[in-house]
Amino acid sequence: MNPYSLPSIISFTVNFSLALIVLVDNTKSALNRWFSAFIMIFALWNISEVVILNSDSFTTARIAAQILYRIIFLAPAFFVVVAYHFPKNFHKHLTRPLYYVLIFSLPIILLSMSFPEFQIEVIPLSKTHDVFYYQLKYSFSLPFVLLLITALGYMIWGDVLLIKKIPRLRTIRQKSQTRFFAVGMIIIFFVYIVLNLLRAIWAQAISYYFVSTILTLIIAAFFFISIIQFKFFNPSRYLTGGITYSILSSIVLAIYFLVIKGINESLVTWLKIDSYVLDGLVIFALVILIRPFEHRLHEQLDRLIHRNIHQNRKTFLKLYRELQTYLEPEEFFAKIKKYLTRHFNVERVLIFNYDAQSLSFVEIEEGTSIPAIPANCSLISILKSKKQAVEFYELDHKKMIPKLGDFWETIQARVILPLIYEDELLAICILTRKKYGLDFSQDELEILSIFGSEIAGALKRNRIIEDLRLKDHQNYQLEKLATLGRLTAGIAHEIRNPLNTISTAVETLLKKDIPPKDQEELKRFIMEETARLNRILNDFLNLSRIRPAQIVAFDSENLMERLILSLQSSDRHAIEIATKIEPRGKIIRSDPDLLFQALLNLGLNAIAAIVDRCKKEADFNCKEGKIHFKISADTNHYYITVQDNGIGIPDEIKDSVFDPFFTTKEEGTGLGLSIVHQIVDTLMGQIRLESHYGHTEFAITLPKKI
């Protein structure tokens, strides 16, 4: 083989691989079979050129040229058949074999009439006449003129078929593919005609060879771009195998002819070594060396095919990170609208969110007159089955709700993007036409499908958070109602007992012949129970009227002095009360009055717990009782603890001690610790309880910055 055949070998490798890929993609499709045959015709064209360029004799080259002559004039017939089928067949008669016979019969008859005097000749490329090429002989022979007219007519016929199909095609993808295919074939045919017309001005055959070689490579590149970039078919399954292997094979062949052949000739000339084994070893070594570049080639090929996806990846990742945190539905959908409008250059984006009450998808902008999409309509079923971006023209408009279809026609809807998460349709995005009259490319539709899949996950996460918030709110409302019930029952119970005592005392006083001493005792009962009623009402009002906190800086030592005086005045048992204030806790920023009230209630509870222990434990004296207040702080918080060695709080009631009217004391109202808890909440703090027999600790944590 000689280096002149290298371009034809590369073109053959690419065309042959593409033809097989198209055929295997769907062997049952007539379009795939005929398009594969159309590409294979050019692969045979390439292999005929290889045979001519590598022929050792003029006779062999002439036979290959005659085969090539037949291929040249049969190719337009294949183009006509492909034009009928591509991208969609609107002609039912093409299903009949007779129609194919009629299309191919004319060029076959004319070729038969030309035999054996085909108007093609073999010409030498070099002065030594050891390398041959071909060229057409233009004459006024009737069969040749008819062949030229037939080829020109078939090419015009095929292009007219494609151009007339464009308005009838429904999808943007099909229109773009058909337009590219038609224009590409016109350019190839035009260049071929110009090439042959200008042949007469080239003094040397080598010039014609170089221009013809460029055309061969252009045709291979055209088919490659058609299938990879415009996705005439779906070769993704074979991309890493078929096409990549073809390219690698072409590179290996190129290296062989440009490097190996030179080495071989040098070895033959200088060292007189001519061995097929040596050639094989060198080729094997180069194949091993080229393997590390294969992965790099795959990456570059992927970037070429999915160029738009790579360009949109950064902006999409930025949006996706923003949607990782919970957003209110209005803000969430606003970000999606902004992204789609900006990056896909559309005039308008509508988003229909699912509404469980109406069982339909409703446009998110309130107050609009946009018709809703019922959840049980055929459109929803189509979107769920496709699970990707769908062009508006792909839908069967006859099955669409008339009002909805008319509206989408009015706004010039182009693409419908479903947001589906695990077979659940969450929302629907409608993209109208693009600005400046541009169409959506196939890459953009694929990007939208990927976008929809990822955004659906973020939307589902938002929905889960919304459901949890709703449940929390419902539980909170139930807890409020339960608390109100307990509060009402507690008030009724606490008031009923004193009222019963007062009622009984009054009834007794109204009786005659009651000794003065008994009358005085009954009056004292009435006064005590009245005071108890007043205390219950005061505690209840304190619970329900906790005023807003007034934050000021104050000296905690003064607070402790007031607290100890108040507790000692209420203590009849000489219980020891101690305080400890760390330096960082001396000045506190909080509400001194509210904090004093909370600590006073905790101190009174501690006294009552110590007294209760004195009553129940014979070996414990109230003078042994101890109450300890401690104030400390760090960078962000104040810490106040109240400890006592009283009776303690059993584990089974620890969770209830802060509930209103919960008490274990005979004379208690059960509101003291509830007031403490509410005050701590008002001060934006937290309170924690730890208790066992002989030890109880309430720990309050307050923020330094409110």
Q: What is the pLDDT of residues 656-670, one digit of tens each?
A: 787 766 666 655 556
| 513 belongs to a structural domain | no
CA distance linking residue 588 with residue 486, whole number of Å = 36
Q: Give the pLDDT band (50/70/90) at residue 653.
A: confident
Question: Full-prediction pTM beyond 0.85?
Answer: no
- Per residue in 168-198, pLDDT (tens digit) is 887 777 888 889 899 999 999 888 888 777 7
Is the same domain home to 195 and 260? no
Whether pLDDT at 360 is above 60: yes
> 271 and 316: one domain?
no
Are 245 and 224 members of one domain?
A: no
Q: Does 458 lie in the same domain as 323? A: yes
Instruction: Answer with the one of 419, 435, 469 that is the final residue of a domain.
Output: 469
Q: What is the mean pLDDT of the chain?
A: 80
Q: Are residues 288 and 327 in the same domain?
A: no
CA 447/CA 36 separation, integer angstroms: 28
Spatial CB neighbours of 365, under 8 Å, sequence gap ≥ 6: none
Q: Is there a single domain that holds both residue 269 and residue 317?
A: no
Residue-range definition of the domain harbouring residue 550 = 546-703
Q: Is residue 351 part of a domain?
A: yes
Q: How confident is the model at residue 699 (pLDDT cuts 50, 70, 90)?
A: very high
Phi, psi torsion values for 438, nearest 5 degrees: -75, 160
Name the 3-class secondary structure at 58: helix
| 296 and 312 inside one domain | no
**376 and 271, same structural domain?**
no
Q: Is the confidence at residue 216, as pLDDT, over 60? A: yes
Instruction: Determine, yes or no, domain membership for 492.
Output: no
Please enumerate, as own/partner, the contacts of 252-259 that have beta carbons within 8 Å and a separation of 24 or more: 252/283, 252/286, 252/287, 252/290, 253/6, 253/9, 253/10, 253/13, 254/6, 254/10, 255/286, 255/290, 256/283, 256/286, 257/1, 257/3, 257/6, 258/3, 258/6, 259/286
In a domain, 207, yes or no: yes
Domain count, the chain: 4
Phi-psi region of 367 (alpha: psi -120 to 50; beta: other; left: phi over 0): left
For residue 302, what pLDDT is reported? Answer: 58
Rounded to whole angstroms, the Cα distance separating 249 from 246 reads 5
Q: Is residue 490 part of a domain?
A: no
Examine residue 497 and state whether it is found in any structural domain, yes or no.
no
CA distances to 49, 63, 417, 451, 588 from 382, rounded to whole Å, are 50, 57, 12, 19, 66
Domain finish residue from 255, 282, 305: 305
**388 within domain boundaries:** yes
pLDDT of 240: 44
343 and 425 part of one domain? yes
Are 573 and 611 in contact, with CB atoms under 8 Å apart?
A: yes
Same domain flag for 257 and 374: no
**Looking at residue 458, which CATH number applies to its domain?**
3.30.450.40
**Cα separation values, 136 from 43, 127, 293, 304, Å:** 19, 21, 42, 38
Please compute the mean of the pLDDT values over residues 443-453 and round it to a whole number.
84
- Does 154 score more than 80 pLDDT? yes
User: Hunting for tokens 């291929």 — which residue is that?
Assistant: 71
The CATH number of the domain holding residue 620 is 3.30.565.10
The answer as to whether 69 is a domain residue is yes
pLDDT for 237 beyond 50: no
Among 292-301, 380-389, 639-648, 660-669, which range has the highest average pLDDT?
Answer: 639-648
Q: Are residues 69 and 28 in the same domain?
A: yes
More confident residue, 154 or 56: 154
Q: Which of 417, 448, 469 is the last residue of a domain?
A: 469
**pLDDT tens digits along 33-53:** 999 999 999 999 999 988 888
- Contact (Cβ atoms closer than 8 angstroms) between residue 556 and residue 579: no
Of residues 640 and 210, the one with the higher pLDDT is 640
pLDDT of residue 631: 94
Say whether pLDDT at 555 is over 60: yes
Instruction: Indicate if 430 and 353 belong to the same structural domain.
Output: yes
